[in-house]
Structure 1
């Protein structure tokens, strides 16, 4: 009788070939993604300007924050105000300097005091561009990164077939008393089965990003452009008018918790209030109210529930991929998974080196290779996977350095 298994490649070979071939790049992406989950906290540690201590009172209005920034930098065009969810974070004000470059001004939301100014090239911004596109400009960078979702998905599927009845291994402790290859294999399997709950949303959202990159992204929400004006904002525009618009936004979408205010960069653009409302698994931009900068007339509004299914899927990708959907608890959980996946990729490399080393010892006359050489040889023909991974990582780090020096 014909055996269909003869037509299926060895799951072990497929898992090893794909997993090992891209292991260096996987480890790099898992590491940068894990750091990105905690990027706001890294900025808080790095820049004293980002820090704010709760003063026992509610945060000041965004209009007050706008006035403080406008007084501190009268030569700037203020284009966004972002209110952090954290109690210990300053509000972020983005302005365009006279020479045309963006910069961040950080304002204490409890006192209105301007903490200071930083470049817009923060740790958060650098990690985001490194993780999603390796700093390669245009669509090419995102495509290069997201196409690795295919081997990642295949590696996970092959691993499930390789470790049949994987659910029995959730509480199987590694045999630390055995040889290193045995307990490393046990540890690899243990981390993998516990990471399945994270692997599924990770690979699904990664595949979605690839779909978006090739041009099947969801349509944008309405731009609600205004008629062309001679200037971005009226000469008398101030924080009081911004607070008046905020009150109108609250009446238009009752319960809207404003997280971001976008001011015009070009004369035909409106003022946009974005924030959290009743929809789940959406970004703040899914809930928005648009204003005419001069009359404060409401030009349009939408909630997350008003978006199409295609748009809701696109909105859900980021909260699921980065673990922001449940606040700090899910971010911590996603961070732990990220550390585990980074270790998983590294342990897989070590296991392969040890396995091939043992095989060589059993073959008479086999040439003795170093662990590095054994791993490299396993990364596809002529170590192609290794060269590709190293090339991409070096490219990303080189472009990161160049952008940092030019910031």
Structure 2
């Protein structure tokens, strides 16, 4: 296949679903800093860093139990940064989740927030368009395949592509300028496209049936915990947290999860010596009625499929090194979104047959691009509209889960 045909493939995959692709890229970019967006919009999440020493899990638990409407908590989360409050997810009287925030050291109650916050919106929108996972993830995965195809074809279309790393955009005329912008952004985004597209394909494989197996989390032993959903008493909670220091001393605790059904243990998760794993890869469990130690496992004990599964989220969202890596992903997400827009703009200028010296209307250019998208345009419109309607319903309470 000659370069002209490769270019046609490159243009086609970059344009047909460009509206949906840009939507997915922009929401994914904002998802990397969505926790910070919530921090800005909800003052209950803010604490003075100078007032925080060591996190006091016991104080937070006792305070959360007192503040909870139903006394049924789901999880306690360690603050992601020194200026964040500790977060507790609980259930209200209608069995709907909501958030409470506490000072990490004193356990002082600071306020609450809704379950459907900016973080949930951007993550659910980016991952599965607010649709059921089995439908939404395959749609989003189309974008991953488009990105991979665009990347592969670009190596053929753009000769000496490696020179694009250092070529500053020329300004002789607009077509040349945008072509150089596209090459520059494409060259610097090669690694990022590979990471987000390959991990995006893995999400599809999970939906299609690739399942990781994990070690046993332990079975509760008390009859009360077998027959009912049990919340540990403050003394039992304290006993369990002290046992963590003995049985898993190098565990940096990130979350404490409580039973959401009968016959379920209390689980403590976090980070240890394994790299590129989610918090759930390092785990220790307890009977919620007695605080008896049940089981534990480390990230290093997971099999290959489980390790890959655990690495996908940190790599896709850039959470593997905390705030610095998420800022890096945000920057490259902006660049990748710009790359997608610039590619569509270049295609539109070419198909509208506008001379580089001709004065033209940008509206005419974009109208030309839309006319070439065909079915992809309507598929994008419908997908995004359904996503936003579901989001509106969830955030206004018209739809409940």
TM-score with structure 2 setting the length: 0.92
Consecutive aligned runs of 4 or more in structure 1 exceeding 4 Å deviation? none
Change in CA separation of 1:16 and 1:384 when aligned onto 2, cut-off 3 Å = same
- Please report how far the alpha carbon of residue 217 of structure 1 lies from its aligned counterpart in structure 2 after TM superposition: 2.8
* Distance (Å, rounded) in 2 between the aligned partners of 1:124 and 1:58: 26
Aligned pairs (5 A) from 1:2-401? 5=1, 10-73=5-68, 75-176=70-171, 178-226=172-220, 229-233=226-230, 237-358=232-353, 370-379=364-373, 383-401=374-392
Gaps of 5+ in 2: 357-362
* Distance (Å, rounded) in 1 between the aligned partners of 2:84 and 2:330: 20
* Distance (Å, rounded) in 2 between the aligned partners of 1:138 and 1:204: 18
- Please report how far the alpha carbon of residue 78 of structure 1 lies from its aligned counterpart in structure 2 after TM superposition: 1.2
Gaps of 5+ in 1: 362-368
* Distance (Å, rounded) in 2 between the aligned partners of 1:32 and 1:60: 32
* Distance (Å, rounded) in 1 between the aligned partners of 2:392 and 2:194: 33
Are the counterparts in 2 of residues 259 and 274 from structure 1 also a CA contact under 8 Å? yes
**Which stretch of structure 1 is more off in the superposition, 94-103 or 269-278?**
94-103
RMSD: 2.0
Partner SS, residue 354 of structure 1: helix
**Which stretch of structure 1 is more off in the superposition, 324-333 or 188-197?**
324-333
* Distance (Å, rounded) in 2 between the aligned partners of 1:175 and 1:404: 46
* Distance (Å, rounded) in 2 between the aligned partners of 1:25 and 1:165: 30
Change in CA separation of 1:404 and 1:163 when aligned onto 2, cut-off 3 Å = same
* Distance (Å, rounded) in 2 between the aligned partners of 1:342 and 1:372: 17
2:396 matched to 1:405? yes
* Distance (Å, rounded) in 1 between the aligned partners of 2:303 and 2:227: 35
* Distance (Å, rounded) in 2 between the aligned partners of 1:239 and 1:63: 7
Are the counterparts in 2 of residues 286 and 315 from structure 1 also a CA contact under 8 Å? yes
* Distance (Å, rounded) in 1 between the aligned partners of 2:252 and 2:105: 17
State the match for 2:360 in structure 1. none
Paired positions, count: 390
* Distance (Å, rounded) in 2 between the aligned partners of 1:60 and 1:351: 52
Are the counterparts in 2 of residues 76 and 98 from structure 1 also a CA contact under 8 Å? no
- Please report how far the alpha carbon of residue 360 of structure 1 lies from its aligned counterpart in structure 2 after TM superposition: 8.8
Structure 1 residues 203-246: Cα deviation after superposition (integer angstroms, max 9, x where no partner): 11111111111111322443423255344336xx4334323211
